[in-house]
Amino acid sequence: MTYCTVDAIYFKDKKCTIDQDECVECYVCIRQKVCPRNAIEPSPLDTFYKEFKHMMSDPVENHPVTGVTGRGTEEVKTNDVSGRVRRGQVGFSIDMGRPGLGVYLRDAEKVAMAMCKVGVELAPAEQSPLAALMPDKSSGKLKADSLDTRLLSVIIEGHCREEKLKDVLLALRKVEKEIDTVFSVGLILRVDEQGMNNTLRCLDELNIPQPHRGKVNVGLGRPLVTD
Amino acid sequence: MYQAKGINDIGIKPKALAFIAAAEAVGSENWGDVKTGPVTRFSSAEVREKISDKSRIRGVFTRGDQVIGFLKKIKEQDLGMSVVITGVLTEVLAACKKAGVTPHSINYSLGVWGSKDKLPDEVALSVTTMCGHHMIPPKFVKHIMKQVEAGKMTPEQGANRLSDFCYCGIFNQVRCADIIRDNV
């Protein structure tokens, strides 16, 4: 159907049906009032994972632990005051399922585990909703009962020393062939006054094109983190 | 405009209103608060009225001089809130320099990895990815394009309808209208 972000609405025998396993509870169909007979109602968020699914897939909601809307993370957006990524570090914002394919948590787990194996320290649960599903954050492994949960997207957030960037990119290049969805890769770096960071040179060694788009935190937050 | 949890996230409404005034003064084409919606769908007064400490204010500029003017106004007021400008890096960094602001950190986009064969076509993606939370269904983009092709709506009307789906107000309906026009 035209109006579903993840193709979970089917038209059969003159009737529309929502596949509850495929639905990510993004509420686009409800908010846009797409049913001419007003027949779509939110299904009860009566389990932890149904509620988690809705919190992650509907950007209007604030995540209950991190307190942040969107996917519940601040990433580079407030780095000038949070200091989440410091000089000498590389931050990662791996946006699983984006753009638009959605993601089963089993695939997010594969990517998170691959990153942890090469030394990425994942962001804690107070900053990153996905970490709340990890009994041991150092492994990236998720709770077994979460793996069949499908979300519109979820961000794997973490950081490592700049020297390890090449290893992490190689790990991502390997694991991208082992998953059934896509992910958008964001590298978060502190930059000099010209907006440059030489760490990106290692992309050339891996034949990864130099980035020409990005999100620039322009350093107007206070108190400013300077290291 | 972004508030950081536990740092500067209390009593943000006056600062949010100052950001909105600066954006409107330079002619921002779209803006909104994710908790209420974009000004393409809701009135500016309604979005302003409903701002709370949980709000996030985002907007769109289509020209470099708008970005420079906006950054100058925000810097002058020293509101202390985080500001992120997203776009082509050479253009954004040049605007920062002209506005006299110093970039702190950058989230560099290395593009899409994984099962890219499952993605919708490039035209649909060029529209849907303008909403970072992917609230715009690719099939709805195709539907709108067919409506425009059939003469049932203009590219601008189609772009405005699509912008309703992106609650942040970050969807660029001006660029979207151009994409529709170029592809029907």
| A152 confidence band (pLDDT: 50, 70, 90) | very high
CB distance A211–B116 less than 8 Å? no
Tell me the one-letter amino acid at B63: R
User: What is the per-residue pLDDT for B169?
Assistant: 94
Going along chain B, which residue ranges are E strands? 30-33, 37-38, 57-60, 84-88, 105-114
Q: Is residue B53 pLDDT above 90, yes or no?
A: yes
For residue A160, what are the domain limits?
A: 75-205
| Residue that wins the pLDDT comparison between B98 and A61 | B98
Q: Is residue A72 pLDDT above 80, yes or no?
A: no
Which of A57-61, A171-175, A203-207, B124-128 is predicted least confidently? A57-61
> CA nearest A72: which of A86, A90, A58, A87?
A58
CATH number at residue A105: 3.30.70
CB distance B125–A224 less than 8 Å? no
Chain B residues near residue A99 by CB distance under 8 angstroms:
112, 119, 125, 128-129, 134
User: What is the per-residue pLDDT for A85?
Assistant: 97
Q: Is residue B147 pLDDT above 80, yes or no?
A: yes
Question: Length of chain A, please?
Answer: 227
Mean pLDDT of A4-21: 90
Mean pLDDT of A111-132: 96
**Residue A70 lies inside a defined structural domain of this protein:** no
* Number of separate domains in chain A: 1
DSSP symbol at A141:
B
CB distance B128–A100 less than 8 Å? yes
| A147 confidence band (pLDDT: 50, 70, 90) | very high
Q: Write out residues 53-92 of A within 8 Å (CB-CB) of B.
A: 59-60, 62, 66-71, 74-82, 85, 91
- Among A2, A66, A213, most B C-beta atoms within 10 A, so best to mutate, is A213
For helices A105-117 and A165-175, give the axis angle rounded to 10 degrees.
150
- Among B15, B105, B125, most A C-beta atoms within 10 A, so best to mutate, is B105
**Residue A226 lies inside a defined structural domain of this protein:** no
Q: Is residue B124 pLDDT above 80, yes or no?
A: yes
Q: Is residue A222 pLDDT above 90, yes or no?
A: yes
Mean pLDDT of B136-154: 97
User: What is the per-residue pLDDT for B57?
Assistant: 96
**Residue A141 lies inside a defined structural domain of this protein:** yes
Mean of pLDDT over chain B: 96
> What are B19-41's pLDDT values in tens digits?
999 999 999 999 999 999 999 99
What percentage of chain B reaches a pLDDT higher than 90?
99
Tell me the C-alpha distance between A19 and A145, whole Å: 20
| A130 confidence band (pLDDT: 50, 70, 90) | very high
| A163 confidence band (pLDDT: 50, 70, 90) | very high
Interface predicted TM-score of the whole assembly (ipTM), two decimals: 0.97
Determine contact: A5 vs chain B, CB below 8 A. Answer: yes
**Bridge partners of residue A184, in order along the sequence:** A95, B112
Mean pLDDT of B148-164: 97
**Residue A11 lies inside a defined structural domain of this protein:** no
**Residue A23 lies inside a defined structural domain of this protein:** no
User: What is the per-residue pLDDT for A82?
Assistant: 96
**Residue A66 lies inside a defined structural domain of this protein:** no
User: What is the per-residue pLDDT for B93?
Assistant: 98
Which of A56-70, B54-68, B84-98, B123-137 is predicted least confidently? A56-70
Domain ranges of chain B: 13-99, 116-183
**Residue A14 lies inside a defined structural domain of this protein:** no
User: What is the per-residue pLDDT for A71?
Assistant: 75
Integer-rounded Cα radius of gyration of chain B: 17
Q: Is residue A226 pLDDT above 80, yes or no?
A: yes
Mean of pLDDT over chain A: 94
How many Cβ atoms are within 10 Å of B131's Cβ, its own excluded?
A: 22
